[in-house]
Amino acid sequence: MEEVKRKPIFTDSGSSMHADRFTHIIVGAGSAGCIVARRVAENRAFDVLLIEAGPDIGPSPTNASSIPYGVRDARRVPMTGQSEIFDPRIDWNLEVDIDCGGRMIVPQAKVMGGGSSINGGTFLRNTASDAREWVNLGNDGWDFNSSVAVYEELEGDTLRGTRGPHPIARASMGEAGKIQAAFVEDVKSRGLQSILDLQATGAEGVGPSPVCRRDSTRVSAADTFIDPIRLFPNFTILANSLVDRVLFQDRKAVTVVLANGREIHATHEIILCAGAIFSPAILQRSGIGPTELLGRHGIAPLAELPVGLNLSDHPCIPLVARPRPGAYTDTDYSLQMQARWSSSLHPGAIDLQMVCFSYLFAQPTDLPIPRGRQPQRSLGGTETGHVAGIGCNINKPSSVGMVEIRSRDPNQMPTVRPNYLSNPHDRALAREVVRTAYAVLTSPTMQTLLTAPLGITAQVVADDMMLDGYIKAHYSTTYHYCGSCRMASREKGGVVDQSGRVYGMKGLRVADASVLPTIPAANTMASSMLVGERVGRSVCDGRSIQKPASSRI
């Protein structure tokens, strides 16, 4: 059932009504969409509607049981495969195709705040190298200095001295759990330096992850950017409402159609912030995308654009073990420490990452495995129950995939095929990061806290072919999907320009992780918020994002 939160609009006769016409409609209240909605609503001349497919969690719910499990607790990651207890109401339960007939059920948030409401909370900026890639694809307004200036206005980080609204915290070594502390010491013994600020430009080393929390309470984009504007007279939230498609008049976006057939009209702009899986699906159902795909589903094409292509993610190869008695307590955080560094193939790229996790819990299943398919896997690999260990992430993969609708039905999940590790470059990076992590996990200090790694031995690690087999059988996802509505010049495969406007259309933008031109060498939440802030300002002020004046000749 739709849930409308709106201040009454009064007609000339004095009777109240719920209008189905707004100046701006934002579709998706995730890490980017919450900021877009905030910035657009700050222009009091606008009347703004924010539509979210999942439930809204207000700052003061009347019924505590209505709060989905785990969204307030920064100690846990309340996702399938990460926590023993999680709330299925706030998860899309997305099935992702992988090679050899396998599948992954990938958590994707379906709740106000999006991923920022249920993820690990890591807030890492994109790198200077990422920014150069983005500029080279035709986005001269997205240089590194311009991005840093926006990050500094968003972040409330005591360590860096920034006073923005969104809090960033780090664990001290005194607060670290035993497993996390041992991880840091053993990584240092491998030659990486200890570093307190992983946000520093070009920082490589091991240290605490910058996390969006106050004490042990997770702080989502909704907490920071939506709660303060809930009483704005020009702002409305429509929760529990799935969007089907966008309708156009003379190539201008004018109407959002919900899955139940309800139509809501926009006089100015519609901004899609539904994420790297669902924004391209909405565009494709609206007639924007590859002509062959649209024709296959009987959709009249409005614009031939590579919507759904260039899908990227950070592959993760988990190395897991069982905690020994006394190594872990229920008050420990799941995630606290990580290491970032550059591979031997790409000095300076910061293209490898290890994340230490003290707690992952995958539920066992009694369902039979269909013939020819692999066992279900998660961030804990194929193991079930409580495991700890290291996630081995490739931060700059070159393999890309695709998102395609399966039908015109908005209730049917799209086909998602990431094509993880599909080229030799990415497999070489995977071997390098796994070998480093295995040495850490089997070091004397870690082995006092954890059992021997499950499913992998020194013999496997030493042999390229055997290690490739292990990686192929166990790789997972970091949930960092991006790039499927690429921000780039048209000749370089762009779907949107650098202000998020969809090429060939009027009154339609995309502003979420799907527009990231290349995958950043960092967790993607911060980059998504960067997109939301910059595009939201562009809409609010009516100014295009462009090359900084100081850089113009």
pLDDT tens per residue, range 182-234: 999 999 999 999 999 999 999 999 999 999 999 999 999 999 999 999 999 99
What is the predicted pLDDT for the residue at 199?
A: 94
- Calculate the average pLDDT of the chain: 90
Class of residue 300 by CB neighbours under 10 A (exposed 0-12, middle 13-18, buried 19+): exposed
- In 3D, which of 472, 468, 427, 474 has the Cα closest to residue 455? 474
Which residue do the tokens 């799907």 mark? 514
What is the predicted pLDDT for the residue at 224?
A: 97
Domains assigned to the chain? 1-73+108-170+220-308+481-553 (3.50.50.60)
Packed helices 424-441 and 464-474: angle between N→C axes, nearest 10 degrees: 90
Cα angle value 430/84/386 (rounded, 5°): 55
Cβ(50)–Cβ(227) under 8 Å? no
Spell out the long-range contacts of 453-456 with Cβ–Cβ below 8 A and sequence spacing 24 or more: 453/319, 453/320, 453/321, 453/389, 454/320, 454/321, 454/322, 454/381, 454/383, 454/387, 455/320, 455/381, 455/382, 455/383, 456/319
- In 3D, which of 145, 126, 125 has the Cα closest to residue 548? 145
pLDDT tens per residue, range 140-187: 999 999 999 999 999 999 999 999 999 999 999 999 999 999 999 999
Stated pTM of the model = 0.93
What is the predicted pLDDT for the residue at 380?
A: 63
pLDDT for 17 beyond 50: no
- In 3D, which of 308, 351, 290 has the Cα closest to residue 126? 351
Task: Please provide residue 440's backbone torsions phi and psi, each rounded to the nearest 5 degrees.
Answer: -70, -45
What is the predicted pLDDT for the residue at 102?
A: 72
| Alpha-carbon distances, residue 368 vs 365, 384, 442, 472 (angstroms) | 8, 15, 34, 22
State what percent of residues in the chain have pLDDT above 70.
Answer: 89
**Bridge partners of 361?**
386
What is the mean predicted confidence (pLDDT) over 524-538? 98
SS3 91: strand
What is the predicted pLDDT for the residue at 369?
A: 47
Tokens coding 320: 């897991």
- In 3D, which of 176, 220, 170, 221 has the Cα closest to residue 198? 170
pLDDT for 370 beyond 80: no
pLDDT tens per residue, range 265-309: 999 999 999 999 999 999 999 999 999 999 999 999 999 999 999
What is the predicted pLDDT for the residue at 417?
A: 95
What is the predicted pLDDT for the residue at 61?
A: 54
pLDDT tens per residue, range 437-467: 999 999 999 999 999 999 999 999 999 999 9
CA atoms within 13 A on the CB side of 202: 2
First to last CA, the chain: 55
CA atoms within 13 A on the CB side of 11: 6
What is the predicted pLDDT for the residue at 82?
A: 73
